[in-house]
A and B are shown apart, each in its own frame.
Chain A
Amino acid sequence: MTHMEQPTIAAEDGRATAPTAMPSDAPLVLRGVTVSYGEKPAVFSVDATFPARSMSAIIGPNGAGKSTLLKAALGVIPRLSGEIHIFGRPIEKTRERIAYVPQRASVDWDFPTTVMDVVQMGLYRKVGLLGRLSGSLRGRARACLDRVGMADFAHRQIGQLSGGQQQRVFLARALAQDADLYLLDEPFAGVDAATEVAIIDVLKLLKTQGRAVVAVHHDLSTVRDYFDHVFLINVRRIAEGSVEAAFTTANLQATYGGRLAATHLDELSVAG
């Protein structure tokens, strides 16, 4: 079947099997990563390096494999080939250094649980399966809620929140993980302006604390304001680098094809 053929193709491409010299301490490094849901690969032989102390955006059109790339990096979905290194080590040994914010729409918000319960899920790596939640950990969960401005909602059922408030709760849960690498899947999708500002403030603070932030991002008009580093993808890697070097008209056109009109590019004030 075609499932069997794809690793071979990836290997012929010369990336999947080639040992590559990589900076061992980069927060997130992917080499020759291929992921396929059916017959067509969603992500094909992608190399990427996301730098420390910076905010990186994964950019590409719908169906370009942005979320898939993030999930493959987390080991949440299986990959056909490729290597993933988190701070130079395999994911299994570095889980406590990673925090993950899934797409808000990926869960059922009618689930019978409170805001505080969700944030405490972020403390799982500290308490384990059977450990008791100590008073100091509870205090930390409250502090994380406070950082996203949701302290007053701690005992609300999560279904009673607006979309922006739900996204803030997800961010508070990731903060409770106290990680060095934050992976976010479209954190600004469907949120109000106040929430967008609140989220970006929290993420920028994380960066100044020396942590790495990688976000799947849709809104091209805010890339320059929010991010330092971009990774452009459309199934394959198109370009990566600093915003100044890689967020260019040529690269965007290569990423989006005909779907991005020239007039839009003018408004984005991209370089080159």
Chain B
Amino acid sequence: MGAEFVQFSLTPILIGTFAAIACALPGNFLILRRQALIGDAISHVVLPGIVVAFLITGIVAAIPMLLGAAGAAIVAVILIEAIRRLGNIEPGAAMGVVFTTMFAAGVLILEQTDTSRVHLDVEHALMGNLESLVWFRAEGWHSLLDPAALATLPDELGRIAVACAIIVALTLVFWRWLKIATFDEGFAQALGIPAAALGFGLVVTAAIAAVAAFDAVGSIIVIAMFICPPAAARLMTNRLEHQIWWSVAFATLSAVLGYVFAGYGPLWFGGENAVSAAGMIAAVSGVILGLACLYGPHRGRVGVGKEEAAA
């Protein structure tokens, strides 16, 4: 683990890990609220926002893309709510209509406009470009103490680290509200907790995670990280506090193992080229969920509980 690791692997692994944790934290609550699909929806609806931001500014820069994506996510949330309330349609269907339409619009705009000069295409949107986020100026571990080298770290690392820190802070600050309102919304409202605003805030937080992660790792990993680590974590414990820790551990494990397998796995089996890191990270998180389904101590919990209680 020498200079080459720091130069080529350290930053992509860190970015992948921060992205995975930033998505997994709100994912825990989305799953318990049976809104897991909303993470999926968000990762799709940000595409037209990013494309429109690019068309207006003409450059692929972080801030306009983030603003465009956030705007698209908010438009989507409002559209979903509007369709659900005005049309009296169940939330899943309203979400499905909005996110496929907006994603399709994003693809159409992308195709019809000249974005060939820049690295903004459908493949990038799906897969991200984790492998390219390397730290060229690094010469070894000592570069972590060298201000000149640190200044050349990829922008994506700082951005996703800040997004991850914000999401961790929000989860800690609003912990009691999130727990009470996710378990029993009516009781939370009776206590004076603004449950509706909290639910909206959770979706906005998920949107921030999706946008920050999307930019670096694409929408495939975003979908997987919202759902797989929290779902696997739920099978490991019966306490929400422990579930959060498990989900962070699974997210980290997926990011690290996924990156290593993508980069070196094919070589072990005699292959020559690495495979997509984002795809492999999502695949590893899926395998972890599968293992948790088979061996997790709290799988099939409802049926067991009822039998015990009746006995």
Contact of B301 with A110 in the complex, beta carbons under 8 Å: yes
B192 on the A face (CB < 8 A): yes
Q: Which residues of A contact B240 (CB under 8 A)?
A: 111-113, 117
Contact of B193 with A124 in the complex, beta carbons under 8 Å: yes
In angstroms, Cα B88 to Cα A92, docked, is 30
Q: Which residues of B contact A157 (CB under 8 A)?
A: 238-239, 301, 305
B200 on the A face (CB < 8 A): no
Name the distance in Å between A121's Cβ and chain B's nearest Cβ: 5
In angstroms, Cα B192 to Cα A75, docked, is 9
Q: Which residues of B contact A111 (CB under 8 A)?
A: 32, 182-183, 240
A107 on the B face (CB < 8 A): yes
A71 on the B face (CB < 8 A): yes
Interchain CB contact (< 8 A) of B187 among A38, A100, A110, A165: A100
Question: Which chain A residue shows the least CB distance to B308?
Answer: A160
In angstroms, Cα B109 to Cα A157, docked, is 50
For chain B residues 234-252, which have a beta carbon within 8 Å of chain A?
A: 234, 237-240, 242-243
Q: Which residues of B contact A129 (CB under 8 A)?
A: 173-174, 176-177
Name the distance in Å between B119's Cβ and chain A's nearest Cβ: 42
Interchain CB contact (< 8 A) of B184 among A38, A106, A114: A106
Chain A: interface size category: 20 to 34
Contact of B305 with A124 in the complex, beta carbons under 8 Å: no
Contact of A160 with B309 in the complex, beta carbons under 8 Å: yes
Question: Which chain A residue shows the least CB distance to B88?
Answer: A38
Question: Which chain A residue shows the least CB distance to B301?
Answer: A159
Bitwise, B283-307 to A at CB < 8 A (1) or not (0) is 0000000000000000001101100
In angstroms, Cα B185 to Cα A108, docked, is 11
Q: Is the interface of A mostly helix, strand, loop or mixed?
A: mixed
Contact of B180 with A124 in the complex, beta carbons under 8 Å: yes
For chain A residues 118-166, which have a beta carbon within 8 Å of chain B?
A: 118, 121, 124-125, 127, 129-130, 157, 159-162, 165
A7 on the B face (CB < 8 A): no
In angstroms, Cα B183 to Cα A121, docked, is 10
Contact of A159 with B180 in the complex, beta carbons under 8 Å: no
For chain B residues 60-116, which have a beta carbon within 8 Å of chain A?
A: 88
B189 on the A face (CB < 8 A): yes
Question: Which chain B residue shows the least CB distance to A130?
Answer: B173
- Evaluate whether A121 and B239 lie within 8 angstroms (CB atoms) in the complex, with A129-B177, A159-B302, A162-B309 already known: no
A102 on the B face (CB < 8 A): yes
- Evaluate whether A98 and B190 lie within 8 angstroms (CB atoms) in the complex, with A124-B180, A129-B177 already known: yes
Question: Which chain A residue shows the least CB distance to B172?
Answer: A130
Q: Which residues of B contact A74 (CB under 8 A)?
A: 186, 189-190
Q: Which residues of A contact B182 (CB under 8 A)?
A: 111
B1 on the A face (CB < 8 A): no
B191 on the A face (CB < 8 A): yes
Question: Which chain B residue shows the least CB distance to A174?
Answer: B187
In angstroms, Cα B305 to Cα A159, docked, is 6
Contact of A76 with B186 in the complex, beta carbons under 8 Å: yes
B145 on the A face (CB < 8 A): no
A40 on the B face (CB < 8 A): no
For chain A residues 25-75, which have a beta carbon within 8 Å of chain B?
A: 38, 71, 74-75
Bitwise, B263-298 to A at CB < 8 A (1) or not (0) is 000000000000000000000000000000000000
Q: Which residues of A contact B309 (CB under 8 A)?
A: 160-162, 165
Contact of A95 with B192 in the complex, beta carbons under 8 Å: yes
- Evaluate whether A112 and B239 lie within 8 angstroms (CB atoms) in the complex, with A74-B190, A160-B308, A162-B310 already known: yes
For chain B residues 174-212, which have a beta carbon within 8 Å of chain A?
A: 174, 176-177, 179-180, 182-184, 186-187, 189-193
Contact of A95 with B243 in the complex, beta carbons under 8 Å: no
In angstroms, Cα B183 to Cα A157, docked, is 13
Interchain CB contact (< 8 A) of A107 among B184, B189, B310: B184
Question: Which chain A residue shows the least CB distance to B192?
Answer: A95
Q: Which residues of A contact B302 (CB under 8 A)?
A: 110, 159
In angstroms, Cα B193 to Cα A95, docked, is 11
Most chain B CB atoms below 10 A, which of A74, A124, A130, A165: A124
Q: Which residues of A contact B191 (CB under 8 A)?
A: 95, 124-125
In angstroms, Cα B305 to Cα A112, docked, is 13
8 A–B pairs (Cβ distance < 8 Å), ordered by A: A74-B186, A74-B189, A95-B191, A106-B186, A107-B184, A112-B240, A112-B242, A121-B180
Known: A121-B183, A124-B191, A162-B310. 13 other contacts (CB 8 A): A102-B184, A108-B32, A110-B302, A111-B32, A111-B182, A112-B242, A118-B183, A121-B179, A124-B176, A124-B193, A125-B192, A129-B173, A159-B238
Ranked 9 nearest A-B pairs via Cβ: A160-B305, A157-B238, A100-B190, A162-B309, A159-B305, A76-B189, A74-B190, A95-B192, A102-B186
Q: Which residues of B contact A (CB under 8 A)?
A: 32, 88, 173-174, 176-177, 179-180, 182-184, 186-187, 189-193, 234, 237-240, 242-243, 301-302, 304-305, 308-310
